[in-house]
Structure 1
Amino acid sequence: MIEVLETLGLQTEDEIALLNFNSYLQIPSVQPNVNYDTCVEFLGTMAESLQLPMQVLNLVEGKPIVLMTWMGTEPALPAILLNSHMDVSPVVISEWSHNPFAVEIEDQNIYARGAQDSKCIGIQYLEAVRRLKRSKTVLKRTIYLSYMPDAEIGGLKGMGAFTDWEDFGKLNIGFALDSGMATLGDKFVAFNGEKYAWNIRVCCQGTSGDAELLLDDTPGERMSRVLQKFFAFRTMEMEKLTANPDWTLANVISINLTKIEGGGRRNMVPSEFVLYFDCRIPFERMDVDELEPTMDQWCHDVSNSVLIDYTLQELPINPTRINDPYWVTFEKAVEEVEVQMFPGRTDSRHLRNAEIPVVSFSPIINTPVRLHGHDEHIGIQTFLDGITIYCRILRELGELME
């Protein structure tokens, strides 16, 4: 990246921001086995350069939480939390056109794992603070910057542990920003809530024996019939999405088969196959009470030997109200923003459970969504523009009086 930056004629503050982004992206903090030491060391360097006090909270072994503080002039006012996460999702190197940790530039786009989710906002927060401090800006409200572990695998040992921390209430957080999602459109998207998750395990038991026989009621046959029912429901939800042009994934139930277990020998029919489904349910979906008995009936219709277990059943969490003073102030700073429900799960649900209003927002427009996908990237100018946007957001939120 450094060689390319020298040809762009950027301002010094932009070069600093991009070089810091480059350094952060090069850290391979990939799930599931993350060593966060390098991230913590890097963030410590950033905090020192900005003269921000920094704590490292070891609430769960091997899952450090980094918390920086920019103290406001009126610390009794509820603080603003800027949250992002250090971990990134796994990569399949063969599907990338660029090395995901070399931070390569093509057509003014930065290619790297974490470029969208969520190392971009982690650096944008810091660089916005840098520019505000350089301009001698002083805010009434205290600003916290948090860098979480564990977000890519549920966040229970990251943000979940943070909100359960005995001193969490002492931070007096009134409002939080978390990571959002890129959009292909030219209008920013902010998310005031998200779907909730069910994880479903279906065990298809049946006749086992030698594979040379044509046995009745084998686990594979029962598995096939179960899959037909689940996929028929999935198709119905897809058709609803197609039939309603104004809808997004946040308006429909998404269900996907994510894992199959079973079998040991090629010449033996096993006694069972186990299916795992990931299901995400919209907050406002009114027919959800019918979902569990419907799925139970699907399995019962196939056989009494098909057993369903709901290994996770999250409850819906109230979204952030769009007439909330913090939301109104955020919207004023961003100027044009479309409100949506996030189609997946983020750390924001832990904050909402703690009754803190949250907006999930990443200032990335005119960009294909690549979080968790191959060739994740962000435009250089898009990244730099995001810093300017966060400067406006912090000025507005930091001066908001109750």
Structure 2
Amino acid sequence: MSESKPAQVTAESEVTEICRDLIRIDTSNYGDHSGPGERAAAEYVAEQLAEFGVEPQIFESAKGRASTVVRIEGEDRSRPGLLIHGHTDVVPANADDWTHHPFSGEIADGCVWGRGAVDMKDMDAMTLAVVRDRLRTGRKPPRDLVLAFVADEEAGGVYGARYLVDKHPDLFEGVTEGIGEVGGFSFTVNEQLRLYLVETAEKGMHWMRLTVEGTAGHGSMTNQDNAITELCEAVARLGRHTFPVRITKTVRAFLDELSDALGVELDPENMDETLKTLGGIAKMIGTTLRNTAQPTMLGAGYKVNVIPGQATAHVDGRFLPGFEEEFLSDLDRVLGPRVKRESLHSDRAVETDFDGALVEAMQSALRAEDPIARAVPYCLSGGTDAKSFQDLGIRCFGFAPLRLPPELDFAGMFHGVDERVPVEGLQFGARVLDRFIDAC
């Protein structure tokens, strides 16, 4: 009897286990350096790549806050390089809320479960699996690839992408284009058409603290200058406020594509019915029609019978490209004169055109694996490390390809309970990413 040969190792066969390995490394980012940091993940990434002879570098911006960067030599080194970036930190998770432990990397119901499964250790795993396979088989990319697995994206990127851009810009010398999160995921329209949303724009951010000063006093006495009352009224006004619809270039392009796909005329001022047809991605698309400001934290007082002299709130503000000044003006008008607004972290909105050879490479790679695929541009309601890399003149897109089952609430996976990614989606993404690298 002849002995069976061991199965050939490929990107497709490795990607799931790499994703599980990364999820098992707890890189929770609490935003205050109290978490475990990303050092263990940075070392894991470096080991996975160093196995095939390249020399990744680990950069630690603060204790435990580590990023890994490596340049993979291309066939034609005279061409501009391509950046593939992903963050290794994740938002925290409470295990008691989850069906499967958030740091177990459990496989169940055809999915890999865990914190970071879609945000964004799935793309980290795809990138590692594809590059490892190319190094293993001696397939050079057409041009240099710079891989950056960075820290701290979930808290604004100060200790990750921003640190690298400010302190080590030479790492990205000659790089003109890049891909990262959040894009390349599918939305099934019907049996003849599947849209893949590629991020070409993202909202800017203003994370802020609101403060109201009042008159402190005894809790048993009447107080017409209660800081908590004044702040809560302002926060309630803001939380219920609807900012006006503002259609940017990217949103207009997406709505035109969606209108064509659905065979209906879309009115941006009356999108409620259309959004209902979009399933999980409606959460992403709906918030790209206008600026938003969501109250997220409240703080005041230290004892039940003491009226505090100060009350604070935190707000997550997001503005569309070209509408920052209008957003801040509207914000101050809604809050009123008693509220002091303090910026905690801000970053610009970014936008690029949906054209060029890189977009064509995305289209061709997707269609090769999914004949009914059509790539379309969209605006991300959140922010990514693209904001930092664009400061180096790198034209960035969100392209982390995933073919998703129509019933999966993909948008709900981001920072949500029971975050998970389909195994078949990971394998599909690895195949598409490999084809994309060849095509660009």
Q: TM-score, normalised by structure 2?
A: 0.79
Q: d(CA) in 1 for partners of 2:342 and 2:44?
A: 43
What secondary structure sits across from 1:130 in the alignment? Answer: helix
User: 2:358 aligns to what?
Assistant: 326
AA in 2 matched with 1:308: R
Question: Cα distance, 1:61 vs. partner?
Answer: 4.6
Q: d(CA) in 1 for partners of 2:72 and 2:339?
A: 56
Question: Cα distance, 1:55 vs. partner?
Answer: 1.5
Q: Deviations over 1:332-375 (max 9, x none)?
A: 32342121111101101111122111111222223322121110
2:207 to 199, 208, 229: 199
| Aligned CA distance change for structure 1 residues 28 and 200 (closer, same or farther; 3 Å) | closer
* 1:74-113 equivalent positions in 2, closer than 5 A: 74-113=76-115
| Aligned CA distance change for structure 1 residues 125 and 167 (closer, same or farther; 3 Å) | same
User: 2:248 aligns to what?
Assistant: none
| Aligned CA distance change for structure 1 residues 353 and 44 (closer, same or farther; 3 Å) | closer
User: 2:22 aligns to what?
Assistant: 24
User: 1:7 aligns to what?
Assistant: none
User: 2:331 aligns to what?
Assistant: 295
1:234–1:255 CA contact under 8 A, matched in 2:
no
Moved more, 213-222 or 51-60: 51-60
Q: Identity of counterpart residues, as a percentage?
A: 17
What secondary structure sits across from 1:199 in the alignment? Answer: strand
| RMSD value, Cα | 2.7
Question: Cα distance, 1:253 vs. partner?
Answer: 1.4
Matched, 1:314 2:347: yes
Q: d(CA) in 2 for partners of 1:23 and 1:200?
A: 35
1:34–1:87 CA contact under 8 A, matched in 2:
no
Question: Cα distance, 1:19 vs. partner?
Answer: 2.3
* 1:136-155 equivalent positions in 2, closer than 5 A: 136-155=138-157
Question: Cα distance, 1:136 vs. partner?
Answer: 4.5
Q: Which runs of 5+ in 1 are unaligned?
A: 1-9, 398-402
1:368 to 409, 432, 435: 409
Question: Cα distance, 1:257 vs. partner?
Answer: 0.6
Q: How many residues end up aligned between the 2 structures?
A: 383
1:275 to 282, 292, 313: 313
* 1:183-194 equivalent positions in 2, closer than 5 A: 185=188, 186-194=194-202
Q: Deviations over 1:121-152 (max 9, x none)?
A: 11111222234445553333011211101111
1:162–1:168 CA contact under 8 A, matched in 2:
no
Q: d(CA) in 1 for partners of 2:47 and 2:341?
A: 50
What secondary structure sits across from 2:65 in the alignment? Answer: coil
User: 1:6 aligns to what?
Assistant: none
AA in 1 matched with 2:355: N
Q: Deviations over 1:311-347 (max 9, x none)?
A: 4443433x12212332333333234212111110110
Q: Deviations over 1:285-327 (max 9, x none)?
A: 4xx4333333333444xxx54333344443433x122123323
Moved more, 372-381 or 28-37: 28-37
| Aligned CA distance change for structure 1 residues 94 and 342 (closer, same or farther; 3 Å) | same
User: 1:219 aligns to what?
Assistant: 227
* 1:118-129 equivalent positions in 2, closer than 5 A: 118-129=120-131
1:117 to 99, 106, 119: 119
Q: d(CA) in 1 for partners of 2:103 and 2:168?
A: 37
What secondary structure sits across from 2:178 in the alignment? Answer: strand
Q: d(CA) in 2 for partners of 1:21 and 1:291?
A: 39
Question: Cα distance, 1:224 vs. partner?
Answer: 3.0
Q: Deviations over 1:82-124 (max 9, x none)?
A: 1111111100212211111111122111111111111111111
Moved more, 387-396 or 210-219: 210-219
Q: TM-score, normalised by structure 1?
A: 0.86
* 1:332-371 equivalent positions in 2, closer than 5 A: 332-335=364-367, 336-364=374-402, 365-366=404-405, 367-369=408-410, 370-371=413-414
User: 2:46 aligns to what?
Assistant: 44
Q: d(CA) in 2 for partners of 1:222 and 1:108?
A: 50
2:235–2:335 CA contact under 8 A, matched in 1:
no
Question: Cα distance, 1:242 vs. partner?
Answer: 4.4
Q: d(CA) in 2 for partners of 1:96 and 1:242?
A: 33
User: 1:4 aligns to what?
Assistant: none
Question: Cα distance, 1:187 vs. partner?
Answer: 2.7
Q: d(CA) in 1 for partners of 2:348 and 2:45?
A: 34
1:82–1:145 CA contact under 8 A, matched in 2:
yes
